[in-house]
Amino acid sequence: MILPRRSALVLAAAVAASALSACAYNEALGRNQLLLVDNAALSQQSTAAWREAIAKPGVMTTGAQVDRIRRVGDRLVQAAGLGGRTWDYAVFTEASPNAFVLPSGQIGVTTSLLVLVQNDDQLASVIGHEIGHVVANHAAERASNQTVTSVGLAAVGGAAGRYGDAVNAYGGLAAQYGLLLPYSRRDELEADRLGVDYMAGAGFKPSQAVALWRLMAAQRQTQTPQFASTHPSDATRIEALQQYIASRGWN
């Protein structure tokens, strides 16, 4: 839907004003963030999503595998300064090695990832990365950026009149590849760095983060070009991690 020009511009101005007052400094990242999203509401939504996810067949919330990720995860959340909250863990039966985190404090790991990792240090690099996303407020920041981008495109589309559909279509692609995807890749690299910090703080070997990404790269059959991906390439992540670990004097 294309908003009338006046309404679209007024809405864009209102969102811009809100954005200026919603910038917050994240000490862990060393930069300002745009946070328009209510974290309490985000937490409620993610808790509901977690309950729905673990109710599905093939999901384990108890057992040896869950105990393993809990042992590793609890050390990392303490190192990240998040030990004062409850964290839940689950293992999902999936063919793809993966993991995810929800802002309300839940971490999911797939069975394939547990098969892939060669030791607890490599598992810690994954879980530490996910915890890094929470410390970095990446979920709230990404939702805020998407809101501003959507309103901005609506305003431009409304001002373009009968050419609005074309503007919105091309503008959406430009925003995706020029703004939202690069933000996502930045988020992943930030979470990698924070995860390595938590690994070191929890007594795990930071160098095993590099070893893990080499394993991931070796088993990956296809790879989306980096400019069109929400994640950096494996080579980019490995190089960035190597440089960061060396700069901290870790092994």
Q: Known catalytic residues?
A: 130
- State the DSSP H helix or E strand holding residue 131, giving kind and residue range, or none if neither: helix 120-135
How far is the C-alpha of 90 from the C-alpha of 107, rounded, in Å? Answer: 7
151 and 11 in contact (C-beta within 8 Å)? Answer: yes
Residue type, 220: R
Tokens, residue 18: 């809100």
Q: Tell me the Ramachandran region of residue 168: left when phi exceeds 0, alpha when psi lies from -120 to 50, beta otherwise.
A: alpha
Three-state secondary structure string covering 137-201: CHHHHHHHHHHHHHHHHHHHHHHCHHHHHHHHHHHHHHHHHHHHHHHHHHHHHHHHHHHHHHHHH
Nearest Cα to Cα of residue 15 among 3, 29, 26: 3
Sequence-distant (6+) residues with CB within 8 A of 67 are none
CA distances (Å), origin 221, targets 115, 118, 188, 230, 238: 17, 20, 21, 17, 18
